[in-house]
Structure 1
Amino acid sequence: MAALKELRVLGYFLCLFSSVAVMADDLSQGEVLFRQAGGYGCVACHGMYAQGDGQVGGNIRAKNLADINRALLQQPSMKGLSSVLSGADRALLAEYLAELNSYELINWTLGVGEPFQQVKVTADEHYQLVITNKGFEALTLQLTGISEPGQVNIAPYQTLAFAWQVKGSYLFLASDQSRLQLTLK
């Protein structure tokens, strides 16, 4: 009887692990669709991480399946993707957007705008820092506390993202042209 109970527990954990693996696979499929659907993906209008980034389509991280279906039917620029994306593809995109939306977004654009930004963050919250280099030169950034190693290179017009959980009370990120200060609320 004890062996049967252990087998049931093992089966439960295997099912749990299996569903997590499928979910991770679905997210990666959703990410691929987001970047490549129709030959140009959603990134052309919505940015590499659905953050908008000054693109024509804006931030869509909080959009769900109903929003995606409505946009594919009503938005002239998206109607071409409507025939390319199956119902399953649309569901995968919605799951990917939900995953992105589970992180609080901090968007840092280098090469345009204010040279100094200050953002208030909450301890123990999960954030995604999306950095876009809109300049014509590669930059080296100091991201100690967010990325290991702390130094990151970003090419011209490249966008990188880093997910992390806020620890500590103060974080200062810098490039030669721009500064980002993160302080606790």
Structure 2
Amino acid sequence: MKILLFCSLFFSINFAYADSKTLFEQGEHLFRTAGGYGCSTCHGMFAQGGGNVGGDVRGKGIDKLNRALEKEPTMLLLSNALNLAQRELLASYLIELGKIPSVEWIIDDQVTFSNASIKLGVLSQLVLVNKRLETIKVALPFVAKSSFIEIKPYETKAVQWIPKEGTIELVYKQSVLAIEIK
């Protein structure tokens, strides 16, 4: 009897996990395609802002989403396109993203020096936005000693890692990002 109870509990937990992953992926797809152009157009590929007009919406829930859909002029375009279930799916996706601390690095033709800080030992996300007209290759020594990421023009990529103590300095030509890990 105990074995049967354990097995049913084990399978129900695994199915719940699979469902939540599916919901996350569905939310991500909706975030990138809603209304034919997606939320990512204004809020960045990972809801981090991307230097776009919409700004960072990671961690925002259903109340803030509904308020924006009713009040913000650019969001009104999506208001009728999203039903209640889709709004809840988007909000769930944004809340899950908000649980992962992130640092955004926008690389363009400007001379920039940016600072950021992130918590030691917590799964984090570095979002790299290439606003140059060329493919770039950036060294990511915190991932592995010989790790690089290649990003096409106007593409956004994210890397997840668990930060170790210290400061990471990322450099691409005249663009520098210093991440302090506390």
User: Do the structures match in fold with TM over 0.5?
Assistant: yes
Q: Which string of whole-angstrom CA distances, capped at 9 and with x for unpartnered residues, describes residues 49-89 of structure 1?
A: 11112211111112101111111111221122122111111
Letter in 1 for 2:152: A
How many residues align? The count is: 182
Q: CA deviation at 1:147?
A: 6.5
TM superposition outliers: structure 1 runs of 4+ over 4 Å: none
Q: Is it true that 1:161 corresponds to 2:147 in the alignment?
A: no
Q: Which residue number corresponds to residue 64 of structure 2?
A: 67
Cα distance in 2 for residues equivalent to 1:120 and 1:40: 32
After TM superposition, the structure 1 = structure 2 runs for residues 23-38 of structure 1, keeping only pairs within 5 Å, are 23-38=20-35
Assess if the C-alpha contact under 8 Å between 1:170 and 1:181 holds in 2: yes
Instruction: Pick the aligned partner of 1:172 from 150, 169, 173.
Output: 169
Q: CA deviation at 1:12?
A: 0.5
> Structure 1 length as normaliser, TM-score?
0.90
Name structure 1 gaps, 5 residues minimum: none
Cα distance in 1 for residues equivalent to 2:124 and 2:72: 30
> Structure 2 length as normaliser, TM-score?
0.91
Instruction: Pick the aligned partner of 1:50 from 47, 50, 54.
Output: 47
Q: Secondary structure at the match of 1:30?
A: helix
Cα distance in 1 for residues equivalent to 2:88 and 2:127: 24
Cα distance in 2 for residues equivalent to 1:147 and 1:133: 21
Name structure 2 gaps, 5 residues minimum: none
Q: Which residue number corresponds to residue 133 of structure 1?
A: 130
User: Quick one: structure 1 residues 119 and 78, their matched pair in 2 at CA, closer, same or farther if it must change by over 3 Å?
Assistant: closer
User: Quick one: structure 1 residues 135 and 164, their matched pair in 2 at CA, closer, same or farther if it must change by over 3 Å?
Assistant: same
User: Quick one: structure 1 residues 34 and 116, their matched pair in 2 at CA, closer, same or farther if it must change by over 3 Å?
Assistant: same
RMSD: 1.8
Q: Secondary structure at the match of 1:141?
A: strand
Q: Which residue number corresponds to residue 21 of structure 1?
A: 18
